[in-house]
Homo-oligomer: A and B are copies of this chain.
Amino acid sequence: MKLRPKHDRRRYDARARIAKALAHPSRLMILDALDRREICVCDLAQLVGADQSTVSKHLAILKQAGLVEDRKDGVMVYYTLKACCLQGFWDCLEAVLAQNLKAQQAVLR
């Protein structure tokens, strides 16, 4: 059996595919909203303030990454959060932002 090299490019490619899905403000907003309840596409479109087709494509990206699931109910499609591990991600982003803000204030002083 062959040991996986520590720096396997394919592993980082796979990670980056997930990270790319997280790298858009509208998608972050969607994930944040879905953390509390399931929401249909039309409501999400209103939430992010973009065209329905645009939001639908964002949702397809999130679904492809395995971050959300969809459930059809008649004409409506409801999306729910599938990844239950995002809290650490949010905390990380906020920590970096807070740190950057602090650094910027230090420069001004």
Does A83 belong to the interface (CB within 8 Å)? yes
Task: Choose among B14, B24, B29, B96 the residue that contacts A67 (Cβ–Cβ < 8 A).
Answer: B96
Contact string against B for A residues 4-32, beta-carbon threshold 8 Å, 1 for contact and 0 otherwise: 00010100111110111011111011001
> Which chain B residues border A91 with CB–CB below 8 Å?
85, 88
Beyond A24-B16, A97-B14, whether A92 also contacts B86 by CB under 8 A is: yes
B9 contacts A66, C-beta separation under 8 Å: no
Number of this chain's copies in the assembly equals 2
Beyond A18-B96, A93-B15, whether A29 also contacts B7 by CB under 8 A is: yes
Q: What are 7 sample pairs from A and B whose C-beta atoms fall under 8 A apart?
A: A7-B33, A12-B26, A15-B97, A16-B24, A16-B28, A22-B22, A89-B92
The interface of chain A, by Cβ under 8 A from chain B, is 7, 9, 12-16, 18-20, 22-26, 28-29, 32-33, 47, 49, 65-67, 82-97, 99-100, 103
Least Cβ distance of A59 to chain B in Å? Answer: 16
B28 contacts A93, C-beta separation under 8 Å: no
